[in-house]
């Protein structure tokens, strides 16, 4: 798997050769530190532990500091990548060069939290008529049965907490890589607010 940890910088728009406007997301990819490597012989699977965002050492305890290579600045965010494709060593820093030649990516992150929302906003229900005399405007409608089974089934779409979940947007086209500025520009939107961390992976479903 080809992947890297980045930070959502924000959204803007660019124009293609035909003059059509395209919404794009700018992802800032700070150098990722290879903190540790796991092997099939010792751990039962192959993986690489990457670190993102340089952290002050006084903000971490000795147990956390002990997992970083000697001489390397500690990182605030760690993510394990299984079956990591690029060859790397512990203490090495990886950047946008791992995405060289990749045209489509999958971006995973935590979506924006919306708080407690009703069924129409949370699930896209159409609601009732807005005309005078209607008693059904933004209500859920029926959620269960009376005689049988006299309960509401699990998974019924109702009001509740919306957003704040791990979300992946697939098959985003890579429009531009600015290695000197550590910026990756992809077409479309990615989950999360500005400044949130995202995982950029080579697309699984698109070559």
Per-residue pLDDT of the chain (207 residues; tens, 9 = 90+): 899 999 999 999 999 889 999 999 999 999 999 999 999 999 999 999 999 999 999 999 999 899 999 889 999 999 999 999 888 999 999 999 999 999 999 999 999 999 999 999 999 999 999 999 999 999 998 888 889 989 999 999 999 999 999 999 999 999 999 999 999 999 999 999 999 999 999 999 987
For 157-190, letters b (16+ CB in 10 Å) and e give eeeeebeeeebebeebebbebeeeebbbbbbeeb
CB 162 within 8 A of CB 66: no
Mind listing the domains of the chain with CATH numbers?
A: 1-29+96-122+159-207 (2.40.30.10), 31-94 (3.30.160.810)
**What is this structure's pTM?**
0.87
Give the residue ranges of DSSP H helices in 52-97.
62-65
Q: Estimate to the nearest angstrom the gap between the alpha carbon of 8 and the chain centroid.
A: 9
Whole-number Å distance between alpha carbons of 203 and 95: 18
Give the residue ranges of DSSP H helices in 51-147.
62-65, 119-123
Please name which of 7, 201, 8 lies closest in space to residue 106, comparing C-alpha atoms: 201
């Amino acid at each position: 798997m080809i992947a890297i940890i980045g930070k959502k910088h924000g959204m803007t728009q660019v124009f293609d050769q035909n003059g059509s406007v395209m919404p794009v997301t700018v992802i800032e990819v700070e150098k990722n530190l290879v903190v540790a490597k796991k092997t099939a012989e010792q751990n039962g699977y192959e993986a690489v532990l990457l670190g993102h965002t340089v952290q002050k050492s006084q903000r971490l305890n000795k147990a956390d500091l002990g997992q970083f290579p000697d001489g390397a600045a500690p990182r605030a965010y760690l993510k394990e990548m299984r079956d990591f494709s690029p060859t790397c060593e512990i203490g090495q820093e990886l950047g946008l060069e791992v995405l060289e030649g990749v045209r489509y990516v999958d971006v995973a992150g935590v979506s924006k939290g919306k708080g407690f929302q009703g069924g129409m906003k949370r699930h896209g229900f159409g609601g009732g008529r807005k005309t005078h005399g209607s008693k059904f405007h933004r209500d859920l409608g029926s959620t269960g049965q009376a005689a049988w089974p006299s309960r509401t089934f699990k998974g019924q779409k109702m009001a509740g907490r919306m957003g704040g979940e791990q979300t992946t947007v697939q098959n985003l086209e890579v429009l531009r890589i600015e290695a000197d500025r550590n910026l990756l520009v992809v077409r479309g939107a990615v989950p999360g607010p500005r400044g949130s961390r995202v995982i950029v992976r080579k697309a699984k479903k698109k070559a």
